[in-house]
Amino acid sequence: MAETQNTEEEERFYDQLTGVQKSAILMMLLGEEEASEILKNLSPKEVQHLGSAMYSVQGLDQDTVNLVLDEFLAIIKEQTSLGLGAGNYIRNVLTRALGDDKAQSVLSRIAPSSSDRPIEILDWMDARAISELIVDEHPQIIALVISYLDYGLGADVLGLLPEDLQPDVIGRIATLETVGPDALRELEDVMQRKFKANTTLRASQVGGVKAAAKIMNFTKQAMEARIMKSLSKADKNLVQSIQESMFIFDNLIMSDDKSLQTLLRSTDSEDLILALKGADEPLREKLFSCMSSRAAANLMDEMEALGPVRLTEVQEAQKRIINVARRLSDEGTIVLAGRGGDDFV
């Protein structure tokens, strides 16, 4: 009887492991040389998440490790020897594991026909160092650099630039499309001055409305409002396009229950109370349905006891929750369904 109970507890614990933690367990089982080779092919953010997870899974019992290995071997056994050697297989596995955007980032570095990102080294720098590096460059160069960065890092760099420059940069990012060799040659000249590094020239797809929207997703509410107000003076249609592509609190209603449950467990209760004060009834009901009846009742009582709150407080709380959601999405812990059928993953 006791053995059965222990087995059930182990399985429950195993079910709570995220994909990143399971990957971390496999990494801990590899030799140092093999593990380091894998890390070389990951982006800075992926290395950070996987490295943190490796610390978190230390000291696990052997039974849990065995369950992870069993799942890994089951996945491998489903693949044929023919499929293992196919480019589509590699692409599909990376996409399922990392999401489309991150998979494309990894493929661009490991596919035989691809070349390295010209400014890849910036991914390993902090926002302040990058902003100081590019602040004296032409706004178009700044926009190009920020477009290549992870969206959260790009938002941090944007926030450290002079305020009067920020709307111009976002506007340029939103209108970037295919960047040809001439533009990349200019960017290479900048990087060579800064790093003495060589890069490969080729036409690249960067920026665009969606990239600008994702960067704006990570900015603070006041900064977002100021940039959008300034940018709307020059191009109202562009502002509307950016706003329509942004992930907002109301979009959470399109996410699955499991993802929302994970998000709620990771959200500060005070932020949730404030955020729900300004939410539509269908979204409230959706989020309440992802809680226990007792937790939902307690939350409703606290919302009622709070009384009227400023709209700006509600918006900031919603922004903080969305930032948590985006972080969990980037880690692969949850999936966020976006507008127009797009997934923010």
Round to whole Å and give the CA distance between 166 and 156. 11
Round to whole Å and give the CA distance between 107 and 116. 10
Q: Read off the pLDDT of residues 188-247 as tens digits, 9 standing for 90 and up.
A: 666 666 655 434 334 445 567 878 888 887 777 678 888 988 998 988 888 888 877 777
**Given this model, what pLDDT does residue 343 score?**
41
Which of the four CATH numbers 3.50.50.60, 3.40.50.800, 1.10.220.30, 1.10.1060.10 does domain 123-245 have? 1.10.220.30
Round to whole Å and give the CA distance between 181 and 177. 13
Domains 2-78 and 123-245 share a fold: yes
Q: Which one has a higher pLDDT value, 53 or 238?
A: 238
**Which DSSP category does 252 fall into?**
G
**Given this model, what pLDDT does residue 120 score?**
61
Round to whole Å and give the CA distance between 124 and 197. 15
Report which secondary-structure segment, H or E, holds 147. helix 139-148
> What CATH code is assigned to 249-344?
1.10.220.30
Return the percentage of the chain with pLDDT > 90, whole number: 11
Round to whole Å and give the CA distance between 162 and 132. 11
CATH architecture of 2-78: Orthogonal Bundle (1.10)
**Given this model, what pLDDT does residue 167 score?**
92
- What are the C-alpha distances in Å from 74 to residues 9, 18, 67, 245? 22, 17, 11, 38
Question: Per-domain residue ranges for the chain?
Answer: 2-78, 123-245, 249-344
Confidence grade of residue 69 (pLDDT, cut at 50, 70, 90): confident
φ/ψ of residue 132, rounded to 5:
-70, -30
Max avg pLDDT among 14-18, 72-76, 138-142: 138-142
Mean confidence (pLDDT) of the chain: 75
**Given this model, what pLDDT does residue 42 score?**
77
pTM of the model: 0.40
